[in-house]
Chains A and B, each alone.
Chain A
Amino acid sequence: MRVLVVEDEPSISAQLNEALSAAGYAVDVADNGVDAHHLAIDGNQPFDAVVLDLGLPQMDGLTVLKKWRAAGRTLPVLILTARDNWHEKVAGIDAGADDYLTKPFHMEELLARLRALIRRAGGHASAELVCGDVVLDTRHSRVTVGGQALTLTSHEYRVLDYLMHHPGQLVSRSDLIEHIYAQDFDRDSNTVEVFIARLRKKLPAGVIETVRGLGYRLVAP
């Protein structure tokens, strides 16, 4: 899952980057409204969610959000604001935000809200994603097969997480690359195949199908 963090305060931005990466997200960072707008619109980067601070230089968060929504971008947006009043919250939600969090916030709460947003965007009602015997608990980044815990590396988890959020859908290799790596990460498309191969060994047979020349599909055998 790939998340865009738009925050002008370097310390908070770094903390968010660190915490989100640790939680298994690929994180891109923008420190002003104009860059954020370009990343999501012109760059056409496929973010799965955005953490958007409202008080931004050059173009404020609310304007950025309105422009995204006007351009038809439906990605879930979590607003961060230091101004704890309902006027601002109503304005944020009406501009198209999906949730908000006021500063100072607990990182755990931000992660929980973000998980919920991504899950809801994919049409999942529960915090646990299920595909046959495979259960992915988004709250604890834990995967079990038939009740047995599975040990996965960070990148393996990211691949499985993305596939579990899109069960039964054809996911291309480039899709996977886009969603498990941040923009400035040194991408190697071969490594995706390595991760898939390792996952197949750990998961029950037939869970990850290969659609030749197109990509992968997660199915319940």
Chain B
Amino acid sequence: MTGFGQEHPSSALRGSLRLRLLIGTLAWIAVSIIVAGWALDGLFRNHIARQFHAELNTHLDQLAAHLAVDQTGQVSLSAAQSDPRFNKPYSGRYWQVDRLGVSTGESVGVLRSRSLWDDVLRVPPDTLTDGQIHWHRIPGPGPGKTMLGLVERVVTLADVADPAGQAYRLVVAADEHQMAESIEHFNQMLWLALGLLGGGLTLSAVIQVRTALAPLRRLHGALADVRNGGTPRLEGHFPLEVQPLVEEFNSVLAQNAEVVARARTQAGNLAHALKTPLSVIANAANAQQGDMAKQVSEQVEVARKQIDYHLSRSRLAASVRVPGTRTPVSPVLDGLIRVMRRIYAERNLELVLATHPEPPVFRGEEQDLQEMLGNLLDNACKWATRRIEIALSEVGDELLITLDDDGCGLSAAQQQRVLIRGERVDEQLPGSGLGLAISNDLAHLYGGRVELADSPLGGLRVTLVLPAAATTP
């Protein structure tokens, strides 16, 4: 089972489109470069080896052409070898002439280049027909003992009288190190060039992936904007591949808002449908005397509380946050203060709203804010003696609405109890006793909370903490 929070080796790869594209592209670039490097290296080695052999062959031909044997059977060269390296001791270029006699036996190094100094080249024994060329690798002379590439052929001089010396082996050798040097140099250049190419390709891949994924990043920004309450729907033009997604999302947003509105209306309709007959029953029972009437009255009260409780729950369920909604707090607060002034006109309450320099905006539904604030304000008015102070502030991305009253307040234990649904501290004042709890539940739904404390005015301080919307949409 793979679920959220489970670490999986390839989860990072599966999680990031950019990583996936980059790793894919980079793997291909790396493989191509390694294969190209390997192939070019092989080709160059081949080329150098052929050049090396061709050069040795040329020297061998030259040696064969210049070989001369006089009447006494003395072997000599009619002209010096053209390459000056044959004259420099242990230069890495050597030639040698061996006499192959049938009766006299083999005589190695009858003639040899100065570069061989006192050494001779020990050619592995093999049998060659005239004109055949053989290749060998042998350890070289001198201090380094580096490997030599060696080419040999047998020459028979038909015009020579001495039958003992009629066959000669001509050998030309060169240090393989010279070949390796140029290969190494080539390889350095090759890998440098391939490295630069790889770097360039990687850079272009990164740029390409970033460019290709830029609309997704823009989409992310637009979504964040919707979530923060900046806009009600995704705005902007997106590429052909992303646009259907955006349109689908916008229609889901619209549908969501519609469902919430419908659920609200239905909750209201249900309230209407149930409460009207309940009113009739309650009033009819209240007008009568006797046990029956008393029982009916009691049960109607129970039913009323149940309806209130379940209605508030259904309202909460309907209050699924519709992203992208923003509600300025001040107009809602002003409306509620007008209501409180009117319905508590009898008590001459002072409702004081502290002015706020920048009108804060709540990230959510107007009706939900009205519900939360209405319950809290109503509660404050019920308990206040004379004065209620309301203050707004913003701390970080949180919106704080503080209500202070000068009533009798609540003890710490009561403060704990009163936020729990259904708990009522005092049964004397009318109301379902759900107000604070409903506000608290709603606030929690928005990721906020209701905090209770002692007020400096002497009564209760209620602080409603809610997510604030970005001030500029």
Contacts and interface: CB of A to CB of B under 8 A. Distances in A.
Q: Do A and B come from one complex?
A: yes
Nearest to B300: A104
Interface stretch (B59-67, B71-79, B129-137, B333-341): B333-341
B367 A87 contact: yes
Interface stretch (A90-98, A163-171, A205-213): A90-98
A104 B343 contact: no
Interface in A78-130: 82-87, 89-90, 93-94, 97-100, 102-109, 116, 120
Interface string A1-44: 00000000101100100110000000000000000000000000
Interface in B275-291: 275-284, 286-287
B271 A83 contact: yes
A89 B336 CA distance: 8
A82 B307 CA distance: 12
Interface residues of A, number: 31
Contacts of A90: 335-336, 338-339, 370, 374
Given A84-B311, A85-B371, A93 B284 contact: no
A164 B160 CA distance: 167
B119 to A, nearest CB: 111
Nearest to A55: B272
A12 B374 contact: no
Given A55-B272, A82-B275, A99-B342, A12 B367 contact: no
A69 to B, nearest CB: 13
Contact of B275 (A85, A104, A106, A120): A104
Contact of B283 (A15, A86, A94): A15
B279 A105 contact: yes
Contacts of B339: 86, 89-90, 93
Contact of A93 (B277, B280, B338): B338
Contacts of A19: 283, 287
Given A84-B311, A106-B282, A89 B374 contact: yes
A99 B344 CA distance: 9
Interface string B370-409: 1101110000000000000000000000000000000000
Nearest to A86: B374
A120 B342 CA distance: 11
Given A85-B371, A106-B286, A11 B280 contact: yes
Interface string B332-374: 0001101100110110000000000000000000110011011
A15 B287 contact: yes
Nearest to A93: B339
Interface in B254-289: 268, 271-272, 275-284, 286-287
A85 B366 CA distance: 12
A150 to B, nearest CB: 26
B114 interface: no
Given A98-B342, A103-B275, A85 B370 contact: yes
The CB with the most chain B CB atoms within 10 A, among A15, A19, A55, is that of A15
Nearest to A54: B272
B3 interface: no
Given A84-B311, A89-B339, A93-B342, A12 B271 contact: no
Nearest to B370: A86
A206 B280 CA distance: 45
Contact of A104 (B279, B345, B370, B373): B279
Contacts of A89: 339, 374
A127 B298 CA distance: 30
Nearest to B303: A104
A103 B342 contact: no
Interface string A45-86: 000000000010000000000000000000000000011111
Contacts of A84: 271, 275, 308, 311
A83 B371 CA distance: 12
Nearest to B343: A99
Given A55-B272, A89-B339, A94-B335, A120 B278 contact: no
A100 B343 contact: yes
Given A84-B311, A116-B346, A107 B276 contact: no
Interface string B109-149: 00000000000000000000000000000000000000000
Contact of A107 (B286, B300, B370): B286
Given A84-B271, A99-B342, A18 B336 contact: no
A45 to B, nearest CB: 24
The CB with the most chain A CB atoms within 10 A, among B277, B346, B366, is that of B346
B473 interface: no
B430 interface: yes
B32 to A, nearest CB: 67
B304 interface: yes
Contacts of B335: 90, 93-94
Interface of B: 268, 271-272, 275-284, 286-287, 300, 304, 308, 311, 315, 335-336, 338-339, 342-343, 345-346, 366-367, 370-371, 373-375, 430
Interface of A: 9, 11-12, 15, 18-19, 55, 82-87, 89-90, 93-94, 97-100, 102-109, 116, 120
9 contacts: A15-B287, A86-B336, A86-B367, A86-B375, A87-B370, A90-B339, A90-B370, A94-B335, A116-B346
Given A15-B280, A84-B311, A85-B367, 18 more contacts: A9-B279, A9-B280, A11-B284, A12-B280, A15-B287, A18-B287, A55-B272, A82-B272, A85-B315, A87-B366, A90-B374, A93-B335, A93-B338, A94-B338, A99-B343, A104-B304, A107-B286, A116-B346
The 5 closest A-B pairs by CB, nearest first: A86-B374, A82-B272, A104-B279, A11-B280, A90-B335
